[in-house]
Chains A and B, each alone.
Chain A
Amino acid sequence: MRTFDYVRATDTQEAVRLLADDPAASCLAGGTTQLDLMKDGILEPPRLIDITRLPLHGIERRGESLHVGALATMEELAAEPTVAERLPVVRESLLLGASVQLRNMATIGGNLLQRTRCRYFRDPGVAECNKRSPGSGCAALMGAARMHAVLGVSERCIALHASDLAVALVSLDALVHIQGPTQRRTVPLTEFYITAAESPEHENVLDHAELITEVEIPLPPPTARSGYLKVRDRVSYEFALTSAAVLLVIDGGTIRQARVGLGGVGSKPWRAYEAEHVLTGAPVTTATFLDAAEATMRDAWTVPGTEFKVPLARRTLVRELQTVSGVTS
């Protein structure tokens, strides 16, 4: 690991100013991505700004919104009564991710900003990585691609965004509150990420001197049912091959509202609007679910090793629609 200055920020404005003052500085929160990549020699910030002491840990329900401080941990959010009661899809996506130790460290803001698990991105011995060195190529195209993305990708980069939580949150239209040096702004999470097809090196719209301060989750109607299904190579402590976040409001055999997110497939957490379009207003039947799944993944761009994700993602979605609706016929 390269040496660095360690600075502990005590208030948010100070943290943002420290970032603005040093274009190469990085923030340190839970550290589960940041320190890992620094040990690997992928990130070499000359200055680390420890933001863990900022007053951004609280989780508060205000009316029909849950306001989650950026520094709340994954375990803290999963344990929140409102999450258990109204947001099963969020709770399940959290508890199916990482391990308890990592979830006690990893923050919600950091989870959204986590870097890809692409083994070629994470190996400094690999020269071809458009994410690390724009224009150098993509070693993953000809490599072991099982854990890579098929949506929002191109021959320039097929890196996967591996967050489970973010898949649930894009499906819920969560909002990201951001503090910059001179202003605050709020960005819908669905507009926060940039796909690898658009730009391998830019993963989101956050400027260098901006900090996520809060994630706001609008609560779905009390009658909504939701859940998260994660399909993976082992039953626990593993990244998704495919996953599905599903929320349904059902009334008299008809789907009134549908929200669908797909994980394990996108260079960003994927919102499956086309599936929602098929589901909304349709009868609650497996035939509807199959149609919805068929409508997804049409823009998939595969390489040898990722083709299996297209049918697997569709089956994952059908299964979770059946589980959430309770309708299997």
Chain B
Amino acid sequence: MRDVASERDVDSRSTLNERVVTLDVNGRTYTLRLDTRVTLLDALRDRLGLVGTKKGCDQGACGACTVHLDGRRVLSCLTLAAQAEGRKITTIEGLTGADGPHPVQRAFMEHDGFQCGFCTPGQIMSAVALMAEGRAGSDEEIREYMSGNICRCGAYPNIVAAIRAVASAGGHDAHL
């Protein structure tokens, strides 16, 4: 009997599946030849040098890899780079404008919204999206809709304070 499984095993070890992928990141277009397995997170960090986006759990649990796809926050660790083709990708590096850091970035500094800083880019990307979604109406709402971003240092009170400060200063204007 033909052993389909073992034939496939041999094939998959000997064949490298690559694909040319064009990505629109922070307003720039990049064309890359990538293994099909490469996630958007790994493409950003390892191929484009955009290491602001962090690899925490790499399994969709911690939120450190949060980026915006067409303006919506998603997890880049569970997105294949090939899936992001043709979509507008924004990373933490794309938040800073000609007039300096984004208001949410400034608020995180002013309110000490971090300790080690590893989760911070994901927190900030999430917070910027949160305001665009209109979900920064109260501390309770902020906590609920930021719950996909874990901070193991426990900087949550200051993160909430930073977001609240931007929201109460008219944060709906602060989104991208």
Cα distance, A32 to B65, chains bound together (Å): 14
Within 8 A of A (CB), among B141-161: 143-145, 147-149
- B29 is an interface residue with CB less than 8 A from chain A: no
Q: Is the CB of A105 within 8 A of B78?
A: yes
Chain-B contact segment, one of A2-10, A167-175, A294-302, A310-318: A2-10
Chain-A contact segment, one of B11-19, B99-107, B113-121, B165-173: B11-19
Q: Is the interface of B mostly helix, strand, loop or mixed?
A: mixed
- B46 is an interface residue with CB less than 8 A from chain A: no
Partner of A4, one of B36, B59, B69: B36
Q: Is the CB of A39 within 8 A of B59?
A: yes
Interfacial chain A residues near B130, Cβ < 8 Å: 100
Interfacial chain A residues near B79, Cβ < 8 Å: 31, 35, 105
Q: Is the CB of A99 within 8 A of B36?
A: no
**Nearest Cβ in chain B — how far from A96, in angstroms?**
9
Q: Is the CB of A6 within 8 A of B36?
A: yes
Cα distance, A46 to B9, chains bound together (Å): 9
**Nearest Cβ in chain A — how far from B8, in angstroms?**
5
Within 8 A of B (CB), among A3-40: 3-6, 8, 24, 28, 31-32, 35-36, 39-40
Cα distance, A98 to B148, chains bound together (Å): 8
Q: Is the CB of A104 within 8 A of B147?
A: no
Q: A36-B60, A101-B74, A236-B144 are in contact. Are A50 and B83 (CB under 8 A)?
A: yes
Interfacial chain A residues near B73, Cβ < 8 Å: 100-101, 104
- A102 is an interface residue with CB less than 8 A from chain B: yes
Cα distance, A139 to B33, chains bound together (Å): 42
- Give the residue among A3, A8, A24 with the most B Cβ atoms within 10 A: A3
- B53 is an interface residue with CB less than 8 A from chain A: no
**Nearest Cβ in chain A — how far from B173, in angstroms?**
21
Q: Is the CB of B19 within 8 A of A6?
A: yes
Cα distance, A24 to B7, chains bound together (Å): 13
Interfacial chain B residues near A325, Cβ < 8 Å: none
Interface string of B20-62 (1 = CB under 8 A from A): 0000000000000001110100000000000000000011100
Q: A6-B80, A36-B60 are in contact. Are A46 and B8 (CB under 8 A)?
A: yes
Q: A39-B58, A105-B74 are in contact. Are A6 and B17 (CB under 8 A)?
A: yes
Inter-chain pairs besides A6-B19, A24-B4, A104-B74, 6 sampled, C-beta below 8 Å: A3-B16, A4-B37, A31-B83, A48-B80, A100-B126, A104-B69
A-B contact pairs, 22 of them (CB 8 A): A3-B16, A3-B35, A4-B12, A6-B82, A24-B4, A31-B78, A31-B80, A32-B78, A35-B79, A36-B78, A40-B59, A46-B8, A46-B12, A50-B83, A100-B73, A100-B145, A102-B148, A104-B74, A105-B74, A105-B78, A105-B79, A236-B147
Which residues of A pack against B, CB within 8 Å? 1-6, 8, 24, 28, 31-32, 35-36, 39-40, 46, 48, 50, 52, 75, 98-102, 104-105, 236-237
Query: Closest 5 A-B residue pairs measured CB to CB?
Result: A99-B148, A236-B147, A237-B147, A6-B36, A104-B72
